[in-house]
Amino acid sequence: MNRKVVEQVEEILRGSVTAEELAEIERVVRDAKGNILIEDDLGIWEGKTPCWEMCTCPQTLRQECPAFKNRNLHCWEVEGTYCKLDDYGATGRDTSICQVCRVYKRFGNGKNIDIKLCGQGFNPTFANQAVKNGSK
């Protein structure tokens, strides 16, 4: 890592003393990781066609999608993916859409669908605005 960046992070951490401040730093780092993810690193999708390609997700949605950002889990294990929001409301927890999805049918091997990653899904306002603008 660039030495200047390390120094900046150390300075920020020295000034942070409360649990809330540290939680905010952790959130910012987590979000930054998702934004700088190298597209070639497919994680669990290595050797497979990723869900965002099979579903032809537009780039604007793809960059915000929790399945795209968290490639260590299959899309059906992630709360708040766009397909779940689109059909089942703001929480994105209902996985019944996954049962009929071609991605799950191809790679799920009939395993139970359990949400493993919660609270990092789409902002419903962003997703709804993207739909209104014709992004899906």
86 within 8 A of 136, measured Cβ to Cβ: yes
Given a cut of 70, whether residue 26 has pLDDT beyond it is yes
Same domain, yes or no: 50 and 25: no
3-state secondary structure of 117: strand
More confident residue, 38 or 26: 26
Question: Domain of 84?
Answer: 43-132
Same domain, yes or no: 24 and 84: no
Same domain, yes or no: 26 and 54: no
pLDDT of residue 103: 93
Same domain, yes or no: 28 and 84: no
Given a cut of 50, whether residue 136 has pLDDT beyond it is no
Same domain, yes or no: 48 and 115: yes
Same domain, yes or no: 76 and 10: no
Same domain, yes or no: 29 and 76: no
pLDDT of residue 86: 57
The Cβ-side half-sphere exposure at 71, using a 13 Å CA radius, reads 24
Which H or E run contains 99? Answer: helix 96-99
Same domain, yes or no: 103 and 47: yes
Interval 80-114: pLDDT, tens = 888 877 544 556 777 888 889 999 999 998 888 88
pLDDT of residue 17: 72
Q: How many domains does the chain have?
A: 2
Same domain, yes or no: 76 and 26: no
Same domain, yes or no: 23 and 76: no
Same domain, yes or no: 53 and 31: no
- CA 95 from chain centre, in angstroms, equals 16
Interval 37-80: pLDDT, tens = 545 578 888 889 999 999 888 888 888 888 888 888 899 998 88
